[in-house]
Chains A and B, each alone.
Chain A
Amino acid sequence: MGRTVQIIQRECRDYLGRVVDNWNDFWFTPRDPFAMSVMRILVGWMVFYTVLVWGMRLDSFFNVDGFNSMEMLEKHLLVEEGPFALSFWYWVPDSMVYPVHYLCLAVTFCFMVGLFTRWTSILSLIIVISYAYRARYANYGLDQINAILTLYLCIAPCGAYLSVDRLLRRRRRQKSNPGVDVAPEPVYPTLATNIATRMTQVHFCVIYLAAGLGKLFGETWWDGTAMWRGLANAEYQTLDMTWLAYFPWFTELMTHMTIAWEVSFAFLIWRPLMRPWMLLVGASMHFGIGLMLGMWTFGFCMMFGYLAFLDPLKLRAVLQYVFRTSFGPDDVVVVPPATTRPVPAGAGTLEHVVLLDHSEESAGKTAAELERLGAGARVVSGLDELMGALEDEPDSAVIANLQKVSAEDVERYFCSLQPLALQNRACVTLMRHRQTGWLDSVSMPDHHRILILPCDRKDVINELSKAAAYLSSQESRSRADRAPAVGMASLY
C-alpha cells in the first residue's frame, strides 16, 4: 500500500513538474524580436493610415456634436459599456481637434518608423483606443485588431530591428569610436518578445474560435448559404460575384470550409505540420474578403498578426535573402557552415566527445552531426556510465542532456561530477527550466556551457566548440591570469 502511494505521489509530482516545464517553455523562452519589429512597421502603418483617414472627416466624427456626439456617448455608450471606455478626445474642445489630430499622426508615424519606440508604442495604443471609443459608432473589426496588436507591440521590444532607434544607436556608437567601422549591435532574444508573441497567438486563437462558434448559431452557416449571403450584400460588395449563383456547390463548400477553418484554427495552428496550411488558408480568406467585400484594411491587419506565428529567425533569413541586406550581426543565430569544422585551431579537445543522452534517437543524431564534423562520439545513457567514460578518456569533451533525468541525478551531476570530472573539459549541459535551480548553488567555469530549451543539435555543437576554444585559450595563459570561474556560465 505504502509503495503504491509513493508511486502515485511520484507520478503526480512528475506530472506537475511537466506542466510547470511546459508552461515555462511556452511563456518564458526568450525569442528574437525580429518578427515583432516587422509587425511594428506593418501595424504602425495601419494605425497611421487609420488616423490619417479619420482626418478626412475629423469635424464630422470628432466634434462635440458630430455624428458621434458627446451627448450620445455620455447617455448611452458610457452607460452601456461602463465608465472605463476612456478616450482623451472626451476632453478635447472643438477648437483643438485638428492640433491634437496632427500630434497623433506624428506619434503614430514615429511608432511606424521606430523612433522612440518604447514611448511611441504606448502612446499609439492610447491613440488607437481613444479614437476607437470617441468614434465608437463608426468602429469595426479593424479598430479591434489595431488595438490588440498595438497592445502586444507595447510589451515587446519592437524597435530592436528595422528602426530609427537602432540607426541612432549605431550612429552614437560610431561617434564615440571615430574611424572605426562599427558593426550593428547584436540583438538578443528576450522574454518580453516571447510573452507578447504568445499573447498575440493565443488572442488570435480566441478571435477565430469566437468567430467560428458565433457562426454556429446561424442556420445559414449550416445550410451552406452564408457565403452567398455575404457576397450578395450590395453595400459590402466591391466585385460583382452574382455569377456564383450558378455554382451553389462552390459557395456552399466555401461556407463549410470557413467554419471548419475558424473553429479548428485554435487547435491546429499549434501543430507544426498544419501551421503553414492554417496560415495560408487564413491569408487567402482575408485576401478574398478584401477583394470581394472591400475590407482590405481589416484583412491586412489580421494577416499582420500572423507574423507572430512565424519563426523570427527564419523570417529574418528570408527577408535578408529577399532584400539582399543584413538586419544585424548573425552571431546569435548563424551556425558555422557545414564545411567548416567549428573547432578552433589548437583546441583539439573535440576529437572525442562523450555524449550523455537517454534518448537513443537524439543521441544518434547528435553523434552523426559530430561525426560529420570530424569528431568521434561515445554515447552513454547514465551518470555511472558517464563517469566511467570520462575516466577512460581524460581529454574528451562532454555533452550532457539532463532534460529527462531525475532530480537526484541532476544533483549528482552538479555536486559530484561537475567539480571533478568535468572541471577541465569543454562541456555543454542541456537542461529544462525546472532544473536550473542548481545553477545558483554551484561554481561554473566558462567552458561549461548551459543551454536551456529550446536549442538544436547545431547549437549544442557550436557551443561546445566555443567552450573548447575558451578552454584552449585559458590553458595557454598562466593559471594566475585565468578568469574567475564563479557563478553562471556566460555563453558570450
Chain B
Amino acid sequence: MTSDMTATPPVAPVDEARPRRRGWSLAGFVLLNLWIVFHLLAVVSAPLSVSPSSNVERGLWMAMSPYVQILYQNNGFHFFAPNPEGSNSVRYVLEFEDGRTLEGKFPNRDIWPRLLYHRYFMLSETLGALGGEARERMVRDFARQLCRDYGAERATLFLEWHELARRERILAGGSLYDDDLYQVTPLGTFTWDELSKSSNANVATTSAE
C-alpha cells in the first residue's frame, strides 16, 4: 500500500477521486491534461528565454508569451545572477522659485517602510540598466515627478553608481562608502515649465491614440 508524499492520505470520497467519472467528460479530462502540459511549458518558457538562449527556447517563448504576459508569469527568476553587482541611485538637486535648493537621493534610508524603499530602489536600478531614448524619457519622468512632489522649478539629476567594496579593502581599513567607489553621471537639468508642457502634450497624445 503505497502512499503519496504529500497528497491526502485519508479516505477520499470515491466520487471525488474519480475525475473522469462524474462531471468530467472525456473531452474535459483531456482538455484539463492538455492545459496542465501547456501551463508547465509556459512556466518554463520565461526562464528559458533569458539570454543566452537557443532558437527553440525563443520560439517556445514567442508561442507562450501571450499566455504568460496576461498572467504576469513572464519572469526569468535570475535573482542575483549572473553576479551580484553594485547598485544605482538617483541624485537630484531641486531649485525653487525663492532661490532655495534641495539636494536628495533615492533610494534613501528615510523612505519607510522597507517595501517602499525597494520600489524606489528598483526605479533607480531600472534607470541604470536602460540606455538611449528610453533612459532619456525615464529621466524626464523622474524629473517631472520630483518637481511635482516638492514644488520645484528646476531639477538636475545624476545617476550614481556605487561599486561594491572588495573584501581586501575592508581588511585594509576601508569601508563600503569610500568616495572612490562612487561614479556619478549627469543626467540633465529640466525646468518645470518644459516638463509640464511635454507632459500635457503626452497626455494629449495618449488620449488621441
Measured between alpha carbons, how far is A59 from B146 in the docked complex, in Å?
A: 11
A234 CB to closest chain B CB (Å) equals 5
- Counting CB contacts under 8 A, is B1 at the interface? yes
Q: Within the complex, which residue of A68, A211, A275 is in contact with B81, where a contact is CB–CB below 8 Å?
A: A211
- Which A residue sits closest to B113, measured CB to CB? A53
Measured between alpha carbons, how far is A219 from B17 in the docked complex, in Å?
A: 50
> Given A69-B202, A230-B84, are A195 and B118 neighbors across the interface (CB < 8 Å)?
no
- Counting CB contacts under 8 A, is B165 at the interface? yes
**A235-B1 in contact (CB<8A):** no
- Which B residue sits closest to A436, measured CB to CB? B18
**A454-B19 in contact (CB<8A):** no
- Counting CB contacts under 8 A, is B199 at the interface? yes
- Which A residue sits closest to B108, measured CB to CB? A235
Measured between alpha carbons, how far is A133 from B75 in the docked complex, in Å?
A: 12
Interface residues of B in 67-83 (CB under 8 A from A): 69-83
Q: Within the complex, which residue of A32, A60, A140, A450 is in contact with B14, where a contact is CB–CB below 8 Å?
A: A450
- Which B residue sits closest to A401, measured CB to CB? B1
- Counting CB contacts under 8 A, is A70 at the interface? yes
Q: Within the complex, which residue of A139, A148, A225 is in contact with B167, where a contact is CB–CB below 8 Å?
A: A225
Interface residues of B in 1-55 (CB under 8 A from A): 1-19, 21, 33, 36, 39-40, 43-44, 47, 50
- Counting CB contacts under 8 A, is B93 at the interface? no
Q: Within the complex, which residue of A29, A61, A63, A312 is in contact with B119, where a contact is CB–CB below 8 Å?
A: A61
**A82-B66 in contact (CB<8A):** yes
- Counting CB contacts under 8 A, is A376 at the interface? no
**B134-A454 in contact (CB<8A):** no
Q: Which residues of B contact A215 (CB under 8 A)?
A: 78, 80-82
> Given A70-B202, A76-B134, A492-B13, are A454 and B122 neighbors across the interface (CB < 8 Å)?
no
A52-79 interface mask toward B, CB cutoff 8 Å, 1 = contact, 0 = none?
Answer: 0110110111011111111110111000
A53 CB to closest chain B CB (Å) equals 5
> Given A128-B72, A217-B82, are A66 and B141 neighbors across the interface (CB < 8 Å)?
yes
B28 CB to closest chain A CB (Å) equals 12
Question: Which of B18, B118, B126, B149 has its CB near the most chain A CB atoms (within 10 A)?
Answer: B118
> Given A138-B123, A332-B10, are A366 and B1 neighbors across the interface (CB < 8 Å)?
yes
> Given A138-B119, A235-B87, are A456 and B70 neighbors across the interface (CB < 8 Å)?
no
Interface residues of B in 157-208 (CB under 8 A from A): 162, 164-167, 170-171, 175-177, 199, 202-203, 205-206
Q: Within the complex, which residue of A142, A191, A248 is in contact with B115, where a contact is CB–CB below 8 Å?
A: A142
> Given A71-B206, A248-B167, are A211 and B79 neighbors across the interface (CB < 8 Å)?
yes
> Given A65-B202, A67-B145, A235-B89, are A57 and B119 neighbors across the interface (CB < 8 Å)?
yes
Q: Within the complex, which residue of A82, A144, A297, A452 is in contact with B75, where a contact is CB–CB below 8 Å?
A: A144
A18 CB to closest chain B CB (Å) equals 12
- Counting CB contacts under 8 A, is B86 at the interface? yes
**B117-A81 in contact (CB<8A):** no
**B202-A214 in contact (CB<8A):** no
**B16-A456 in contact (CB<8A):** no
Q: Which residues of B contact A49 (CB under 8 A)?
A: 115
A299-338 interface mask toward B, CB cutoff 8 Å, 1 = contact, 0 = none?
Answer: 0000000000111110000000000000000001101000
- Counting CB contacts under 8 A, is B144 at the interface? yes
A188-205 interface mask toward B, CB cutoff 8 Å, 1 = contact, 0 = none?
Answer: 111100110101001100
- Which of A105-113, A162-170, A341-349, A458-466 is the interface stretch? A458-466
**B71-A60 in contact (CB<8A):** no
- Counting CB contacts under 8 A, is A488 at the interface? yes
**A455-B79 in contact (CB<8A):** no
Measured between alpha carbons, how far is A460 from B9 in the docked complex, in Å?
A: 11
**B5-A332 in contact (CB<8A):** no
- Which B residue sits closest to A242, measured CB to CB? B170
Measured between alpha carbons, how far is A403 from B39 in the docked complex, in Å?
A: 30
Known contacts A72-B138, A226-B83; can you find 4 more A-B pairs with CB under 8 A? A85-B74, A151-B71, A197-B6, A214-B81
5 A-B pairs with the lowest CB-CB distances in the bound complex, closest first: A218-B82, A214-B81, A210-B47, A214-B78, A84-B69
Could you list which residues of chain A lie within 8 angstroms of chain B, going by C-beta atoms? 23, 25, 27-32, 49-50, 53-54, 56-57, 59-61, 63-72, 74-76, 81-82, 84-86, 128-129, 132-133, 135, 137-144, 147-148, 151, 188-191, 194-195, 197, 199, 202-203, 206-207, 209-211, 214-221, 225-226, 228-230, 232-238, 242, 245-246, 248, 270, 272, 275, 294-297, 309-313, 332-333, 335, 362, 365-366, 401, 403, 430, 433, 436, 439-440, 450-457, 459-460, 462-463, 488-492
